[in-house]
């Protein structure tokens, strides 16, 4: 299965991605994690990305797209993958379309984790990651509304919407059930 997960920061997308990746036996590709690892190791990508992560801004598409292209070229994703945090805007979705076309494969579904903004802001304030200060959280929500949410229209017809309020188990059950039914 080839899946894209979409949802506002704090929707529990990363946690769900872990669970679904285990249950479905496909690698979890988180661009946020890839960036954080690159920042930690001070690689060329990390040096370019750090200021954007710290501010809650999107890393420029040129940097992001190349990182994803390389990751999707690896052998372990030949049987499927779960993309978490990419694409983040419609331009990246176009690039993903091109990458998958080059590989001769297609997405099976886009899973949307649906939860109200005030709920996710509360959750993020409680999480305490380096980029979880209130200003940065609000900026990341704004970017989600303006740049990422339009993906739901771009992928119209392929989107499976999951109510993302509940326990981790409840939400992953909903997602697995919806994926099996699709
Ligand atoms: P996340 O772990 O998905 O919340 O991502 C953390 C940060 O990584 C974001 O706030 C962005 O700075 C950066 N990032 C992750 N994915 C992307 C992407 N697809 N495009 C641009 N920046 C991204």
One digit per residue, pLDDT tens: the chain, 182 residues?
999 999 999 999 999 999 999 999 999 999 999 999 999 999 999 999 999 999 999 999 999 999 999 999 999 999 999 999 999 999 999 999 999 999 999 999 999 999 999 899 988 999 888 888 889 999 999 999 999 999 999 999 999 999 999 999 999 999 999 999 99
Distance 55 CA to ligand 1 centre (A): 11
Q: How many angstroms separate the CA atoms of 117 and 169, rounded?
A: 21
Order of strands across the sheet that contains 28-30: 28-30, 81-84, 2-6, 109-114, 159-163
What is the enclosing helix (H) or strand (E) of 62? helix 61-72
100-103 long-range contacts, Cβ below 8 Å, gap at least 24? 100/2, 100/72, 103/72, 103/73
Q: Which ligand 1 atom minimizes the distance to the CA of 52?
A: 12
CA-nearest of 41, 107, 29 to 72 is 29
Distance 53 CA to ligand 1 centre (A): 7
The length of the chain in residues reads: 182
Nearest C-alpha to atom 10 of ligand 1 is from which residue?
Answer: 56
67 Cβ below 6 A of ligand 1:
no
Compute CA distances 141 → 8, 16, 54, 124, 152, whole Å.
7, 19, 15, 11, 16
């Amino acid at each position: 299965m080839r899946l894209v997960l979409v949802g506002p920061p704090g929707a529990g997308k990363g946690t769900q991605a872990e669970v679904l990746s285990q249950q479905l036996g496909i690698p979890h590709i988180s661009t946020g994690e890839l960036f954080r690892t690159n920042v930690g190791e001070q690689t060329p990508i990390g040096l370019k990305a750090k200021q954007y992560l710290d501010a809650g801004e999107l890393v420029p598409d040129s940097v992001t797209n190349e990182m994803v292209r390389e990751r999707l070229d690896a052998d372990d994703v030949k049987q499927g993958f779960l993309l978490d945090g990419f694409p983040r805007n419609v331009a990246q979705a176009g690039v993903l379309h091109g990458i998958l076309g080059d590989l001769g494969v297609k997405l099976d579904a886009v899973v949307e984790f649906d939860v109200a903004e005030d709920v996710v802001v509360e959750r993020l304030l409680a999480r305490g990651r380096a980029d979880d200060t209130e200003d940065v959280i609000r900026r990341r929500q704004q970017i989600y509304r303006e740049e990422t949410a339009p993906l739901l229209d771009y992928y119209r017809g392929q989107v499976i919407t999951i109510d993302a309020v509940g326990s981790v188990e409840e939400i992953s059950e909903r997602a697995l059930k919806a994926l099996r039914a699709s």
